[in-house]
A and B are shown apart, each in its own frame.
Chain A
Amino acid sequence: MTTTDPYAGERLKRTAFYARAKELNIRDAWAAWNGYKFAEYYYDAEYEYFCVRNTCATYDICPMQKYEIKGRDAEAMLNRMVTRDVKKIGLNRVAYCVWCTDEGRMIDDGTIFKLADDRFMLTCGSPCTAWLEMSVFGFDDVTVTDVTDDIAALSLQGPTSCATLKKMGLQGIDTAKPFDILYFPFQGDTLMVSRTGFTGDLGYELWIKKDLAIEMWDELYAAGDDYGIQPFGEAATNMARLEAAFIMPAMEFNEALRTVNFEHDQTPFELSLGWLVDFKKPHFSGRSALLKEKQRGPKYTLTKLDIEGNRPAAGSYIYSSKLCTKEIGYVTSAMWSPSVKANIALAMIKTDYLEGNLWAEIYYEKELRQYSRVARCTRKTKPFWAPARARATPPPDH
């Protein structure tokens, strides 16, 4: 294809759903993710958030990196890369995983889809090609293919998501348990649906050949019309995931391979993801460092906080007393949660101080003047938002 555009290589790529998304992006609020033009929000972030929580909404996850990992050694290769036991992932099941450097610092998190005994799909937020290439070396029979551009993926989240898919004709979708993968015939091809998502609510992710993306979108939106379907962007996602206490790169964790300063990255234990590290499985990268970390205890612990008042504690330091003399941590994400009706935050707190008093120094601005106040924080052990429907199978009907 010839082009006369001198900036062709510089422009953001368009996802498979762009033709529809651009019509709905009334505010032209575009951001970028992995080189794709990507909606920050379509109309209003709060509105979209409420759709996610009250009806259903779609999130374009085409820019998420997707790798097909195939071959007799695919399982062994993945098992040596991630901290979870890949052997334990059932066929047509999805598992949330993290992978680490030799030093046990987290490179990224993502999901592994087991599609066959010798075929997996790995998804993650940032390109991982170089690390995968290194991870594959030494295994005889495994190939990694970047299928990000071949597969269109759309996340459908919210209480009416199951009903919408049923209406769309996906018979039996209500039998899918969390992390299950189901397949449906679609226009002579196959639509793969996983019961997964990043909102902590009932939700699904739809995977289809890129060429059929628009047809799928149209059928989904036709079916979802009665169920309040709306697109949602990055801003609403960020709200929903914080309520679910899911971590985000560049917020809760700094990808290890992009971290320059010593220990400015994190271990899974610091991120309270120790449950993902399986010391009973075969050897995996970072194991000895992580075992030491486990025995010694992490320096920091990612902590869920309920904070007094209603001012979000974004960017706050955490102190051990109201006098703010001893700094013991920092807030990574914060918001007023409309669903929980609480001032919530995630914070990295020095593990030694976890049991003591926690105070956040909150900074805010009022008509160009800067203010601060100190608010008491309460630790939470459960996700802020975890409705029963997110786990129920079949999910409640609408």
Chain B
Amino acid sequence: MDHYDSIIIGAGHNGLVAAAYLARSGQQVLLLEAADVCGGLGRKREFHPGFQGSVAHSVSHFSSKIANDLSLSSFGYESPTNSLATVGLSSDGQHTVVKDGRVEGVGEKDAAAYQEYRRQMRRFADALSPFWLKTIPRIGSAGMSDLMTFGHLGLNIRKLGKKDMREFMRIATLPVRDLMDENFENDILKTTLGWDGLIGSKLAPRSPNSAVLAMLYRMAGESEGTHAIPAGGVAGLIDALCQSAKASGAEIRHSAAVSRILIEGGADGLVATGVQLADGQKIMASRVVSSADPKSTFFNLVGVEHLDIGFTNRIRRLRCDGYVGKLHLALNGAPEFAGLDKADGRMIIAPKLDAIEFAYDDAKYGECSRNPVMEIVVPSLHDASLAPENQHVLSAHVMYVPHKLQGGWTDAARVAIGDRAIETIAQYAPNIRAQIIHSEFLTPADLEADYGVTGGHWHHTEMAVDQMLMMRPTYEAAQYGTPVPGLYLCGAGSHPGGDITGNAGHNAAQEILR
């Protein structure tokens, strides 16, 4: 094949989703992935012989529409029915457990307040839900369908009723801290519920901006924000996406890093005509769709000489520094957390909101948190194939680990933060050190190097009000098209953002097929 309809850069889950949709529509699609396997941050990672994890370790709002459209069930993926309990670990073993719309381990008052809180957040999340699977029109667009989208958004918010609408407007950009303090007394309940507003962003409980919106984003869809590990793990989902894309006719090449997006100039201006691979090979296409992050796409692959100066500067100032580190432990048995029968939930270590705030303060000034906070799952309890028999994998997202560490990252610095994370876990699972066969810690700088994501950022670029909706990643590239005709974006740096949702890939494909 010497000419494709679409070349997609990056076979992360968004690239796969976009490829599958485009191929299904009849396009000749080539998907080029730098790594030797598909999946991006969701791909399987053997971090010790026989022990597998993935950077993204649970799924909270993967779109069931996409799962249906792409017939993922025929490729082995089932929308998980059994969601993980979210467990706020307490050093005294009196944990706070949120599961199936109820909370345990807190006083009556908090338990009741949680019901009202949940009702309201669900209503808000529902009002926003339809927009994660839609292109957000550019401001000033007068196209009918664009106006409908705006109208629909307005209407949905209006439909909340006066009281809830006002409340929505009030809380949408509230710091997590205020929302939690207003509703609850129990410290661990506050950190457990607030966690999803913070993880992945450069935000702490007291940061104003977008934590509540991020929370609502994650509550979208039928899973209501609960997390799950699908059968076969995150990698199982990736595998189903891969098979679906291939079955629809998309061609996938691994170990095929794109080094340049080919751009030709003509009387009408520039147009993307294909890509050049690291080995020099050129492949031509009618369009190029990049799931690499916006900075990498525009600066490493396109080149500023093909972009306007103002646009370049807006991409340049995107905030892309990741603050989440990844800890993988290979264990010789199931971890034993005091007060927990089985560590099969999503466990949060953050004794109070101030603990998160202080952990953030260190990172804000370029240091690793002295007392890190984290989220832990044990994927091998859900998918036995991930570790040898009776052995286990512990996977933790550790905050806050700055991409730009003061003095730069060294092996010693990596070991130190990894150790501190293990030390923190040991406060809740005293036996853990004795169980460790092997450990690996990935800093955001490591994630950048291994996964090709600028800053090692969870969402490719910060999820904050100024980088959301029709401003994600920035205007003139927020509708998946870019100022370079024939070049599209389809990754987490586009609306609606990161996590394993498939939304950006879906929306980009719809935009291309429109």
Binding site for B on A (CB under 8 A): 76, 80-81, 101-103, 131, 134-135, 137-139, 279-280, 282-283, 285-288, 291
Q: Which residue of A lies closest to B268 (CB)?
A: A291
What number of B residues sit within 8 Å (CB to CB) of A? Answer: 20
With an 8 A cutoff between CB atoms, is B299 at the interface? yes
The one of A138, A279, A288 that contacts B312, using a Cβ cutoff of 8 Å: A138
Whether A135 lies near B309 (C-beta < 8 A) is yes
Given contacts A137-B316, A138-B304, A282-B265, contact A131 B270 (CB under 8 A): no
A131 with B308: in contact, given A137-B316, A287-B269, A291-B268 (CB under 8 Å)?
Answer: no
CB <8 Å contact, B313 and A137:
yes
Name the one of A280, A285, A288 contacting B309, with C-beta atoms under 8 angstroms.
A285
B479 to chain A, nearest CB (A): 16
The A interface is mostly helix, strand or loop, or mixed, namely loop
| CB < 8 Å neighbour of A102 from B265, B268, B269, B310 | B310
- With A283-B265, A288-B269: A102-B311 Cβ-Cβ less than 8 Å: yes
Given contacts A138-B303, A138-B304, A291-B268, contact A101 B310 (CB under 8 A): yes
The answer on a CB contact under 8 Å between A81 and B265 is no
A274 to chain B, nearest CB (A): 16
Cβ < 8 Å to A, chain B residues 301-350:
303-313, 316
B483 interface residue per 8 A CB criterion: yes
- Is B267 close to A, CB under 8 A? yes
Contact present for B299 and A138 (CB under 8 Å): yes
Q: In the complex, what residues of A have CB within 8 A of residue B476's CB?
A: 102
Contact of A285 among B265, B267, B270, B310 (CB under 8 A): B310
Smallest CB separation, A116 vs chain B (Å)? 21
Q: Which of B267, B303, B310, B313 contacts A279 (CB 8 A)?
A: B267
Q: How far is the CA of A282 from the CA of B268 in the complex (A)?
A: 12
* B313 nearest CB neighbor, chain A only: A134
15 A-B residue pairs with CB within 8 Å: A76-B305, A80-B304, A80-B305, A102-B308, A102-B311, A131-B309, A134-B313, A135-B309, A137-B304, A138-B304, A279-B267, A283-B306, A285-B308, A285-B309, A291-B268
Within 8 A of A (CB), among B280-304: 299, 303-304
**Which of A76, A137, A287, A291 contacts B308, CB < 8 Å?**
A287
Q: State whether B483 touches A288 (Cβ < 8 A).
A: yes
0/1 interface trace, chain B 248-291, chain A, CB 8 Å (1 if under): 00000000000000000101111000000000000000000000
The complex places the Cα of A137 from the Cα of B305 at a distance, in Å, of: 10
Q: How far is the CB of A151 from chain B (nearest CB, A)?
A: 26
CA distance A76 to B304 in the complex (A): 10
Instruction: Please give the residue numbers on chain B whose beta carbons come within 8 Å of chain A beta carbons, in ascending order.
Output: 265, 267-270, 299, 303-313, 316, 476, 483
A290 to B268, CA, bound (A): 11
Which B-chain residue is minimally distant from A286 (CB atoms)?
B308
With A101-B310, A134-B313 as contacts: A283 and B305 at CB distance below 8 Å: yes
Which residue of chain B lies nearest to A282 when distances are taken between CB atoms in the complex? B265
CB–CB B304/A291 < 8 A? no
In the complex, what's the smallest C-beta–C-beta distance from B341 to chain A, in angstroms?
55
Do A139 and B304 have beta carbons less than 8 Å apart?
yes
Contact assessment for A137 and B312 in the assembled complex, using a CB-CB cutoff below 8 Å: yes
Q: How far is the CA of A103 from the CA of B305 in the complex (A)?
A: 17
A134, B312: Cβ atoms under 8 Å? Answer: yes
Residues of A within 8 A of B270 (CB): 283
Q: Max chain B CB contacts within 10 Å: which of A131, A282, A288?
A: A288
Complex Cα distance, B308 from A137, in Å, reads 11
Task: Kindly report which residue of chain A lies nearest to residue B267, judged by CB atoms.
Answer: A279
User: Given A138-B299, A288-B483, A81–B309 Cβ distance below 8 Å?
Assistant: yes
Contacts of B316 in A (CB 8 A): 134, 137-138
Residues of A within 8 A of B305 (CB): 76, 80, 138-139, 282-283
Q: Determine the chain B residues whose CB is within 8 A of the CB of A76 once the complex forms.
A: 305
B104 to A: closest C-beta gap in Å: 53
The residue among A81, A139, A283, A286 with the most chain B CB atoms within 10 A of its own CB is A283
Q: How far is the CB of B300 from chain A (nearest CB, A)?
A: 10
**B310: which A residues are within 8 A, CB to CB?**
101-103, 134, 285
Q: A138-B303, A280-B267, A285-B309 are in contact. List 13 more A-B contacts (CB 8 A).
A: A80-B304, A80-B305, A102-B476, A134-B313, A135-B309, A137-B316, A138-B299, A138-B305, A138-B316, A283-B265, A283-B269, A288-B269, A288-B483
A379 to B267, CA, bound (A): 32
CA distance A310 to B307 in the complex (A): 49
> Min CB distance, A147 to chain B, in Å?
22
A81, B309: Cα distance in complex, Å: 7
Complex CA gap A53/B317 in Å reads: 50
Docked Cα-Cα span, A132 to B269, in Å, equals: 23
Q: How many angstroms from the CA of A286 to the CA of B312 in the assembled complex?
A: 12
In the bound complex, how far is the Cα of B316 from the Cα of A253, in angstroms? 29
Contact B309 A291 (CB under 8 A): no
Q: Which chain A residue shows the least CB distance to B316?
A: A137
Residue of B nearest to A139 (CB): B304
Q: With the chains together, A283 CA to B269 CA distance in Å?
A: 7
CB neighbours (8 Å) of A101 from chain B are 309-310
